[in-house]
Amino acid sequence: MQEIEGILAGGCLCGAVRYALRGPALFVSQCCCKDCQKATGTGHTTIIGVHQSQLQIQAGKPKTYLSKGDSGGDVIRHFCGHCGGRLYTSGTLPGEVVMIQAGSLDDPNRFTPESVIYVKHALAWDRFDPTLPRFQGLPDRGRP
């Protein structure tokens, strides 16, 4: 677990939506699922898992888009309705865990990926740190 020292801030591209995070990260993963590929337009996204109580929206109100994940459960993407900047994901499978888009943090370098998930969908040209554990889908713990 990577500790969040103090409060971390983040938000969208235009600044209309701002948030704060408190407490330890549950996980930091690079996700290669098809949903993340379509949502980002690239091979993977880096997500920081936190309990929903650790996330506080400080300004604006994210818009949402609902889709179905591999499990058949809901995947809810939260983003800025003005600039389209991705903020975090919630849904059925993660339950009370939200997955913050690492790039939406004001200082994304505060976290380092600890694993690569959904490698079964990884694109041949995408590259990852060879020392990171890799999982074909979700790790055994039931969360990324």
CATH number for the domain spanning 19: value is 2.170.150.70
End-to-end CA distance of the chain: 12
Domain assignment present for residue 41? The answer is yes
Contact 20, 9 (CB under 8 A): yes
> Is pLDDT larger for residue 7 or for residue 114?
114
Domain assignment present for residue 133? The answer is no
Write the pLDDT tens digit of every residue in 52-100: 999 999 999 999 999 887 778 888 999 999 999 999 999 887 678 999 9
pLDDT of residue 46: 96
Count of the separate structural domains present in the chain = 1
Domain assignment present for residue 115? The answer is yes
Q: Which residue's structure tokens are 């976290």? A: 111
Domain assignment present for residue 33? The answer is yes
**The two three-digit tokens of residue 80, written as one number:** 């800025």
Query: Domain residues for 12?
Result: 8-121
pLDDT of residue 51 exceeding 50, the answer is yes
- Residue 91, C-beta contacts closer than 8 angstroms, at least 6 positions apart: 69, 73, 74, 75, 76
The beta-strand segments (E) located in the chain are 8-11, 18-21, 27-31, 45-51, 55-59, 63-68, 74-79, 86-91, 97-101, 115-117
* C-alpha angle 15-2-64 in degrees, rounded to nearest 5: 35
